[in-house]
Copies of this chain bind each other. A is one copy, B any other.
Amino acid sequence: MNVLLVGVGLIGGSFSLALKHRTDLTFGGYDNREEAQNEAFDLGIISQRFNLLSEGIKWADLIVVSVPVKAIRGILPEILDQIEPNQTIVDFGSTKAAICASVADHENRKQFIAGHPIAGTEHSGPSAAFEGLFRDKNLILCDTRLTEPGKLKDFEALATDAGFNIIHMDSKEHDRHLAYISHLSHITSFALSSAVLQKEKDGEVILDLAGSGFASTVRLAKSSPGMWSSIFMENKEMVLRSIEAYKKELEKLEALIIENQDEALEKYLEDGRKIRRILP
C-alpha cells in the first residue's frame, strides 16, 4: 500500500517511522518546503518524493495530511476533488471543527477521516520525528459517522499498529475541550516566555536562576510559531473564551495577594493542586 505524507515534519514523519515494521507499506512525501522533503528522504521517512501534489495523489492509496491547520483547510477540498473511490484521506490537524466544516458538503466527504494525535513535542521538522511518538497515545477521530465504515475500520487498524489508542468525538466538542486542555497551555507558555525575556535581558541570569520548574512551564513556548498561530486562529472563539476564563483565575490570585488574604490564597492553591488527582 502506498501512503502519501502531505507534510513530512514531526507528526507525518513519526507516523512513517512508527510503521517501519510494515514491509507492505511504501511512504511517499510531498512538502512545499523542499529542504524538509529531502531531509525526510535522507532520514528514511519517505522513499518517494513528489514535486507536484497531484502526482502524489495519483500514486497513493492513503493520504495523510500533517501540515498547519490553516493549510489543511486550504488543501483538503483540493485533494478530495482529485481522489478516486478507493482512496482514503486523513488529516492530523490539532483543530477539527473548521476542517470538518470545510469539507462537510464535499461529494467525497465519506473518504475523509478527521484525526488529531494527542502527541507531539516542542520540536518540529523531519529531524524531530521519532518512532515511539505515538506509542500508547490517543488519536481522536471526529465525526466518524460521516466516513465510510470500511475505510474507517482499515485506517483504525493501521493507526493502532502505529501505537495509537482510538477515541471518537464530535469535532466541536473536540475544539472546545482542546482550547482549555491544550491551546491555553501554549498561550500561557508563550506569554510567560515573553514576559521573562522582556524583563531579563541577560540570559545568564535566567540560566543561573531557572530551576526545572521554569523550564517545564515555559517549554511549550519553543513550539512552532506557524503551527500554533494557525491553531489559535482556527479555534479563535474557543481559544478566546479559554483566555478569558484563565484571566479571571489570574486576577483572583492577584487579588488574594494584594489583599493579604493568606488563608484564602493557600486555599486557592489547594484547589489548583487537585490536578494531581487526574495527572498524578
User: Could you tell me the distance in whole angstroms from the C-beta of A175 to the nearest C-beta in chain B?
Assistant: 11
In the bound complex, what is the Cα–Cα distance between A277 and B200 (angstroms)?
13
Contact B196 A182 (CB under 8 A): no
Question: A188-B192, A221-B272, A274-B197 in contact; A209/B138 too (CB < 8 A)?
Answer: yes
Question: A221-B273, A240-B258 in contact; A209/B190 too (CB < 8 A)?
Answer: no
Please, which residues of chain B bring their CB within 8 A of the CB of A188? 188, 191-192, 217, 250
In the bound complex, what is the Cα–Cα distance between A265 and B213 (angstroms)?
26
A199 lies within 8 A of chain B by Cβ: yes
Count of A interface residues, CB-CB < 8 Å:
90
Contact B118 A209 (CB under 8 A): yes
- Residue in B138, B180, B208, B225 whose beta carbon sits within 8 Å of that of A270 in the complex: B225
A106 lies within 8 A of chain B by Cβ: no
Contact A225 B180 (CB under 8 A): no
In the bound complex, what is the Cα–Cα distance between A197 and B122 (angstroms)?
24
Please, which residues of chain B bring their CB within 8 A of the CB of A239? 257
Question: A209-B118, A217-B217, A236-B257 in contact; A242/B195 too (CB < 8 A)?
Answer: yes
Please, which residues of chain B bring their CB within 8 A of the CB of A218? 185, 275, 279
Please, which residues of chain B bring their CB within 8 A of the CB of A220? 213, 216-217
Could you list 11 examples of A-B contacts with CB < 8 Å? A122-B213, A140-B209, A181-B196, A186-B213, A187-B253, A197-B271, A197-B275, A216-B220, A217-B220, A239-B257, A246-B250
Seen from chain A, the residues whose Cβ lies within 8 Å of a Cβ on chain B are: 118-122, 137-138, 140, 167, 177-178, 180-182, 184-200, 203, 205-223, 225-226, 228-229, 232-233, 236, 239-240, 242-243, 245-250, 252-254, 257-258, 260, 262, 265-279
Instruction: Sort A-B residue pairs by CB-CB distance and give the 9 closest, nearest first.
Output: A225-B269, A185-B217, A190-B272, A229-B266, A191-B249, A193-B272, A203-B278, A193-B275, A229-B265
